[in-house]
A and B are shown apart, each in its own frame.
Chain A
Amino acid sequence: MIDLTQVSKVFAGKREVTALHPLDLTIPKGEMVAIIGASGSGKSTLLNLIGGLDHPTTGTISVDGATLGTLSDDELTRVRRDKIGFVFQFFNLLPSLSCTENVSLPLHLRGWPKQKTQDRAAELLNLVGLGKRVDHLPDELSGGERQRVAIARALSVYPPILLADEPTGNLDSTTGEEILGLIKDLHRRLGTTVLIVTHDMTVAHACERILQLKDGVILADRRVESPAAQ
């Protein structure tokens, strides 16, 4: 599903910073992986590279058969919108749009017809338990509810891959557990490949595999025998 070969990332500037040293990584379809590590270890960089949000300095990245480095910007965007869903720590909802409008945003961008878009948005909001808050603006929602909307948006086309960068990092522990439960549930029901960047070991232990990064190097890559149920 996801293959990285000798992928590295160096940030150029007054002083060069190597965020990721060359690494190889394979993540099979349907796996739920946690990427952990201290701040600056390169975990978010790794996630951004896999999501096609950033370009590697060296190496190749293949996502569901598509080699990202060979794609034009618009082709890369098409891969992102068809195959990848993003969930961010700060939700990144558009404040002027209602829940429905936020969730239907990727569908509109794909040019889906209005009715189909609305039906799908309603379906997803029901799925994340916000069926009664469809017309609310993000400002009118709690942190957990906003993240649910963000998850619904990420799943709008039921992408095969879900990338989540600190999805619980901005939430209290109870809400964080709820969100993690939701992601696990969706992973189980939809068979989505999930990559979660996190500081939180509880979140990490809920995954099937944990990648530990330190100074841009994969320090450990281990399987979780029995991921904690949420």
Chain B
Amino acid sequence: MKLLRLLSWPYVRKHKLRMLLTLAGIMLGVAVFVGMHTANLTIQSAFQRTVDRIAGKAQLQVSAGETGFPEEVLERVQSSREVSAASPVIEAALSTSQGTLLVLGVDMTGDASLREYDLEGEDEDVIDDPLIFLAQPDSMIVSRQFAERTGLERGSKLTLKTMGGQKTFTIRGVMKATGLATVFGGNLAIMDIYAAQAVFGRGRLFDRIDVGLAEGVSIEQGTAKLQALVGPGFQVEPPQSRGTHFQSMSRGLTVSINLASLFALLIGVFIIFNSFSIAITQRCGEIGVLRALGATSGQVRRLFLLESIVLGLCGSLLGVFAGLWMARGIVPGLAGTLQEVFGHALSADEITISTPLAALAVVIGVLASLVGGYVPAHSAARVDPVKALLKGRTQVLSEGENRLRQKLAAACIVGCALLLGLGNRNEYFYPGYLLGIVSMILLAPAMSMWLARALRPILKLIWPVEGALAADSLIQAPRRTSATVTALMLSLALAVGFAGVSRAIYDSLLDWMNHTLNPDLYVSPSRSITAKTFRFPATMGDELRALEGVEEVQPVRNARVLINGAPVMAVSIDIKAITDRVRVRPVEGNREELVRLGAQGKGVIISDNLSLIRNIHRGDILEIPTPRGVLKLPVLGSSVDYSDQQGSFLIDKSLFQKYWGDDTANIFRIHVRKGYSRDRVREAILKRWADSHEIFVYTNEGIREYILKLTDQWFGLTYIQLAVALVVAILGIVNTLTVSITDRRRELGVLQAVGGLRNQIRRTIWLEAVSIGAVGLVMGAAAGIVMIYFNLHMLHRDLGGLRVDFTFPYAFMAMMVPVIGLCSFVAAIWPAEAAVRASLVESLEYE
């Protein structure tokens, strides 16, 4: 500790900027980790909190996935002796001018025993006399926050667009801003369940039944009894299970976050490594003196390790705060994206601060710092007191060291190839992936030197002095530049990896859309095509067919059902009608058989990603829970279908209507008759329904645009991480240049003394920075190819079962050339100015 105060602290004070840059490297790495995980956690907790608060005292919930179920199930549940209270619920989100309003349709006659409606003042009579709701179906109670936002009070009227046209509701009460009323950012409204059925086009279906168990009945007993009572087509689960299902749906996001956080930390490790290597180079003399005065190598090692711990601790603590701040910015966008992608209403106003996560981040930050500082500390401990006084020696990688790295890299490549060759199992794939990355890291110093050597003649040809000196600076001090180049390579590899995957997905998505989405118009009851708040009645299909210019109307009903405990999207269509217009491209199975048997309701066609994620194949029996029991259908085959990340299956609408008792539609696909104007038909639809219904008519291009926008939003989440990764790498360039200038102070002084103009000196530094950027860019592109390969495999095996082809993101790389060039240049501005403004006399005397 004394040494830390005596030696380290003065060094820190003298090199404030470098220390700040190093701190920033750790801070950003930890911030990405904390920020992304906190944002994800906030969303998951907000969802769970909403579920818990809405559930109130309910211990179990009976549901049938997202499809809903007939009213008579309620009687069966209520008849159970294990049940003390059972109340049906419809839960939907409505768009209003004040944001999304979560509407709960409940049966007030029995619901008060499960949920506490803490109403203000005289409003209590609404609960005390539930007949008010029954007798007046336009009744609604709202939360205090929503009332304040919209200027509502008891007796006010609120007009909303519903499936039955515009309806005006009367506010019968306002809930105090506590408990239930605080869910969904306080945007909550309660209405009668039968009114909700009409408002949301639910027919005679409920979304779920909330159940309170009789005294003495355990959750397990209640679950078993109710499951037996309602049959296997239903899910009887504690309310918390909804959170688990949501987590399962957003698993892809969690994996992406973990991967990007890992890379951000890895990049941080290289920044620390770089910084400490530099510090040791600069403090070589000091180390020599220490050793000469009797310090043991262990003491020197401990000193530097202690420094890395202190720096890691400070950077991590700052990173935790920065991460929480970052999360605050990310959460609204993330919630919006997840809401769009999964069709679940989400609202998270306050971020969830997790102490274990913060503690883990600090531990990881300190460990990363220790890992980054270990090799330099070890080198410092081995410094020969005599050699320590020789300037510049430690910047050079010894031949032996270089050879060892190359041998280790070769071993890692062989290991990686062997593991990948062994089989497709995770136990082989992920270690193979890790070895692949390690080999890239090990090869980085040698590769950066080769590339710098290759660059020298080019640079020298264009700028004989500045170019040659810039390249020489990289060649002569590989230790100084390799960590930065490696950090840049990893950042770019991450960016290229993501860009490659997104390009591949884009291409596949475009291909799928071109092939599948061929109707002229799409009619949806919500702006979001994934939202399932409203559904069209079946009769609307007939009315659409009757419109002039409409040739064919294809209703589509989709909803998630739980298959083996995980949500899968059921897509109910008229298979015959749709396959007459869309040529099925089977991945497994025979096209003619798929269409014929599918249309006859003799099986289901599953999506390729469902097949891959769940290992379900042609001939397997899919057990689908329905309100009428478990429907066992053979899998006829699989085809490419990107309807849902967790997989989907096509089922003929005749079967769906039979087993789910549901003939509503989420969307109508409309083919316009030849010779008729698509826009005229669109206008006719809007004219007929827009005044009375929530209705959105998308053109074919509009729907494609919508899907691509959604895809962009999804990938947009990763762009933040990429941006931070690049910033961290750029900090590394600034760090390296600052040191390079210190190391080359005399050289730059000589250059000025013999006639180098300020601009010529600046150009040398700029060229050095741009060369680092160029070397990092080339290595990043190479490493990116490897990343794309691994990412596509990950996508295929663990993140949605997508089978997409390898595509190199040329456009992205072309964009990165000026971005990295510019960033490197910007990183060089300050160091270059520092170089030209340094005292010439001091520079020439610098040792």
Contacts and interface: CB of A to CB of B under 8 A. Distances in A.
A92 to B, nearest CB: 4
B356 interface: no
A74 B752 CA distance: 10
B841 A101 contact: no
B757 interface: yes
A80 interface: yes
Given A108-B464, A109-B465, A94 B747 contact: yes
B132 interface: no
Interface stretch (A47-55, A123-131, A195-203): A47-55
B229 interface: no
B844 A54 contact: no
Contact of B758 (A51, A74, A86): A74
A48 B842 CA distance: 11
Given A77-B755, A77-B758, A108-B464, A92 B475 contact: no
A77 B757 contact: yes
Given A48-B841, A88-B844, A96-B469, A105 B754 contact: yes
A136 interface: no
Contacts of B473: 96
Interface string A94-126: 111100010001101110001001000000000
A73 interface: yes
Contacts of A109: 465, 751, 754-757, 760
B753 A51 contact: yes
A81 interface: yes
Contact of B755 (A53, A94, A110, A114): A110
A101 B756 CA distance: 15
A51 B755 CA distance: 11
A116 to B, nearest CB: 12
Given A94-B750, A96-B469, A80 B841 contact: no
Given A81-B754, A109-B756, A97 B468 contact: yes
A153 interface: yes
A82 B39 CA distance: 63
B746 interface: yes
B123 interface: no
B724 to A, nearest CB: 35
Contacts of A73: 758, 836
B468 A53 contact: no
Contacts of A101: 468
A97 B755 CA distance: 17
A81 B750 CA distance: 11
Contacts of A117: 464
A105 B465 contact: yes
Given A92-B746, A109-B760, A77 B752 contact: yes
Interface residues of A, number: 30
A110 B468 CA distance: 16
Contacts of A114: 464
B755 A106 contact: yes
Interface in B706-765: 746-747, 749-760
A186 to B, nearest CB: 17
Give the secondary structure class of B's interface.
helix
A81 B841 contact: no
B841 A53 contact: yes
A191 to B, nearest CB: 21
B346 to A, nearest CB: 59
Contacts of A54: 839-841
Contacts of A78: 755, 757
Contacts of B836: 73
B240 interface: no
B745 to A, nearest CB: 11
A80 B839 CA distance: 16
Contact of A92 (B468, B758, B844): B844
B476 to A, nearest CB: 6
Interface string A66-87: 0000000110011011100010
A86 B475 contact: no
B124 interface: no
A81 B469 contact: no
Interface in B763-809: none
Contacts of A93: 750
B839 to A, nearest CB: 8
Given A73-B758, A94-B747, A53 B753 contact: yes
A228 B817 CA distance: 63
A18 B751 CA distance: 28
B286 interface: no
B472 interface: yes
A74 B760 CA distance: 10
A95 B469 CA distance: 10
A183 to B, nearest CB: 17
Contact of B472 (A48, A92, A97): A97
B563 to A, nearest CB: 67
B755 A80 contact: yes
Contacts of B464: 108, 114, 117
Interface in B456-482: 464-465, 468-469, 472-473, 475-476
A35 to B, nearest CB: 16
Contacts of B752: 77
Contacts of A96: 468-469, 472-473, 475-476
A105 B751 CA distance: 8
A81 B746 CA distance: 17
Given A53-B840, A92-B746, A94-B747, A80 B753 contact: yes
Contacts of B747: 94
A101 B457 CA distance: 13
B841 A77 contact: no
Contacts of B749: 92
Given A77-B755, A106-B755, A110-B755, A92 B841 contact: no
A188 to B, nearest CB: 24
Given A94-B750, A97-B468, A101-B468, A81 B476 contact: no
Residue among B758, B760, B844 with the most chain A CB within 10 A?
B844
Q: Which 9 A-B pairs have the closest CB atoms?
A: A81-B755, A96-B472, A108-B465, A106-B754, A108-B464, A53-B840, A92-B750, A106-B755, A109-B755
13 contacts: A48-B840, A53-B841, A74-B757, A74-B759, A86-B753, A88-B844, A92-B746, A94-B472, A94-B747, A96-B468, A96-B472, A96-B476, A109-B755
Given A77-B757, A92-B844, A94-B747, 15 more contacts: A54-B840, A77-B752, A80-B755, A81-B756, A86-B754, A88-B844, A92-B749, A94-B469, A94-B751, A97-B468, A108-B464, A109-B465, A109-B754, A110-B755, A156-B754
